[in-house]
Amino acid sequence: MITAGIDAGSRTIKVVLFDTDQSQILSSSIADQGVAQERLASEVFERALAAARLERGQVSVIVATGYGRNAVRFADTTITEITCHARGVHYFKPDARTIVEIGGQDSKVIHLEDGGRVRDFAMNDRCAAGTGRFLEVVAARLGVDLPTLSDLSRQSRSPAIICSTCVVFAETEIIGLLAEGASAPDIAAGVQKSIATRLISLAGRPVTGPVYFTGGVALQAGMLRALEEALASPVQAAPMPQFTGALGAAILAARASTQS
């Protein structure tokens, strides 16, 4: 059976095609999010089909997940991103016990049981100061792109202290730090430390390893370092971190088809 998972996130749309019989990823595709979510999702889906040399009719089940999952009306069903990220990370890393996911508009700490089942989770979806959006705002204020922001933080000798828990006030705080002569590397490192500390405190209980970092922000080496420091334990970036939600949706699609 060939299935598709579509992760309609707040910043990007991702699609994964999956062969459930071979337990194999056939193709993946990604694009920036926009206003016409369903049209964009369809276009990304078609690109994934072309990459796998498949026709739409060969896909048995389509599952949508993520922030905009209900807008993908051509999907057969929807599943929450918590469950999908858990399944997607488990596919690559069956030993995972904690998943840290930082997306564009929210962040999550997911605790897993054996078999990749979700035991419980904590989620921040009310404040952008703990999300990828905050990093975008900071990068723009410092006049760099996101990869450069990660490189900058590596050069820090004394990370700035960012106290504000609101992205608007935090940006004002950063402007003040720049006016006082704080360096860009120290501000970058301070912001990453602030996000990591806030996220770990969100977990609500001790974090059990192995810990895997997923979501688009997992591509930022500086954030991975900040999480390791906040946890005082190793954190690994999940393989294909932008696609774990879509992958989990595609894997779970087979179960959805038997329940329909």
| Domain of residue 58, CATH code | 3.30.420.40
Whether residue 167 is found in the same domain as residue 111: yes
Pair 75, 204 in one domain? no
Select from 67, 66, 7, 90 the least CA-distant residue to 41.
7
For the record, the structure tokens of 76 come out as: 């057969």
Phi then psi for 81, rounded to 5 degrees? Answer: -65, -25
Question: Per-residue pLDDT for 19 more than 70?
Answer: yes
Residues 157 and 43 in one domain: no
Strand order in the sheet with 24-32: 24-32, 12-19, 2-8, 61-65, 77-78
Q: Which residue has the higher pLDDT, 127 or 81?
A: 81
Closest-CA residue to 99 (of 246, 245, 252): 245
The answer to whether residues 58 and 116 belong to one domain is no
pLDDT at 227 (0 to 100): 92
Q: Which long-range contacts (CB under 8 A, 24 or more apart) does 24-28 make?
A: 25/247, 26/2, 26/52, 26/54, 27/51, 27/52, 28/240, 28/243, 28/246, 28/247
pLDDT band, very low/low/confident/very high, at 257 (cuts 50, 70, 90): low
pLDDT > 60? residue 129: no
Structural domain range at position 117? 95-238
More confident residue, 172 or 25: 25
Regarding whether 229 and 124 lie in a shared domain, the answer is yes
Give residue 97's pLDDT.
96
Highest mean pLDDT among 127-131, 231-235, 247-251: 247-251
Cβ atoms of 3 and 254 within 8 Å: the answer is: yes
Same domain, 146 and 126: yes
Model confidence over 206-241: pLDDT tens digits?
888 999 999 988 988 889 999 999 888 899 999 999
**DSSP strand pairing (107-112 vs 118-124):** antiparallel
Same domain, 135 and 53: no
Are 100 and 202 within one domain? yes
> Quick one: 141 and 225 in the same domain?
yes
- Same domain for 162 and 79: no
Do both 37 and 133 map to the same domain?
no
Rounded CA-CA distance 100/210 in Å is 11
Is 215 in the same domain as 119? yes
Amino acid symbol at 35 = V
Burial 178-216 (b: 16+ CB within 10 A, else e): eeeebbbbbbbbbbbbbbbbbbbebbeeebeeebbbbbb
Residue 164: what pLDDT?
67
Give the pLDDT score at 260: 53
Distance of CA 191 to the CA centre of its chain: 18
**How many domains does the structure of the chain reveal?**
2
